[in-house]
Amino acid sequence: MKKARKRFEISYVKIMVYIVIVILLIWTFSHFIGFTKNCKQNKACFDKRLVDCKKTKFINIDNNNIYDYTIKGKSKDKCVVDIYLRRMALGTDVEIVQLLEGKSMKCRLPADKVKSLKLEEMENLVNFCTGPLKEGILELALDRMYGLIVQNLGGLIGEIRKNIFNI
């Protein structure tokens, strides 16, 4: 009778040890490999995790535009960050909203750039990004530059005509 009871106690202890080991393995796996921290709207949290390129979600409201940032983690010597423009500010020109809202881009940032990077500096890294949001940003920039050139070209042509005919 005592042998059966001892055998039961030993197997019960073994089962508990196995359960604890499995729980620890699951926690370790989810925390270090698959865990994505949600920084919500905390810029300091996002900046800290970006330096280490740790998986993170972050919502940034900039000039009433709502962006979703997701740090996917490291891929070789790059830090992969997805940027999604969820919603443009109220009152934004309809053409700009159609061009940019709901679009995303994937950025592969060099490890040396990420080490000293802050959220405010991310707009300077568009060269490392691809996707519809980047294309929309470039299209908008080109349209604005074209408008400025045409606007200034009219005055320049007038000055050239004035100088040519005054000779």
Measured CA to CA, the distance from residue 64 to residue 92 in angstroms comes to 10
- Most confident by average pLDDT, 5-14, 33-42, 136-145, 153-162: 136-145
Q: Provide the token pair at 87.
A: 């919603």
Q: Could you tell me the pTM of the whole model?
A: 0.73
- Chain segment 113-135, per-residue pLDDT in tens: 888 777 777 777 888 999 999 99
Cβ pair 68, 84 in contact under 8 A = yes
What percent of the chain has a predicted confidence (pLDDT) above 70?
A: 89
Q: What pLDDT shows up at residue 137?
A: 93
Domain-wise residue ranges, the chain: 37-146
Measured CA to CA, the distance from residue 137 to residue 154 in angstroms comes to 26
Q: What pLDDT shows up at residue 71?
A: 95
Number of other CB atoms surrounding residue 144 within 10 Å: 10
Q: Is pLDDT larger for residue 22 or for residue 156?
A: 22
Number of other CB atoms surrounding residue 39 within 10 Å: 20
pLDDT for residue 1 is more than 60: no
Q: What pLDDT shows up at residue 166?
A: 67
Q: What pLDDT shows up at residue 30?
A: 63
Assign residue 83 a region: left if phi > 0, alpha if psi is -120 to 50, beta otherwise?
Answer: beta
Exposed / middle / buried, residue 58 (Cβ in 10 Å: 0-12, 13-18, 19+):
buried
